[in-house]
Amino acid sequence: MQTTGFKQERNGMEENKHIQWIESEQQWVVWDEAEMAVGFYDTYGEAETAFKYYCLESFDNEDT
């Protein structure tokens, strides 16, 4: 995964390697574990929420 023009919008939060600012898109992108884009978001908070839901949906189903 290549970092291009990282923009911080967090308040003392730990960096998440699955959330990245894409300068050319002017949006945050959420990457899955295979480095495929899950979605694009206007704010880091939206991207972080989307990533949390993605993880809950993806990894919660592994038990069934």
Angstrom distance (rounded) from CA 24 to CA 49: 22
Angstrom distance (rounded) from CA 20 to CA 27: 9
Tokens of 49: 């929420």
pLDDT tens by residue, 1-42 = 444 444 444 444 567 899 999 999 999 999 998 999 999 999
pLDDT at 29: 97
- What are the domain boundaries of the chain? 19-63
pTM for the whole structure: 0.68
Tokens of 63: 């038990």
Per the DSSP assignment, residues forming a β-bridge with 31 are 37
Residue, of 8 and 59, whose pLDDT is higher:
59
pLDDT at 58: 85
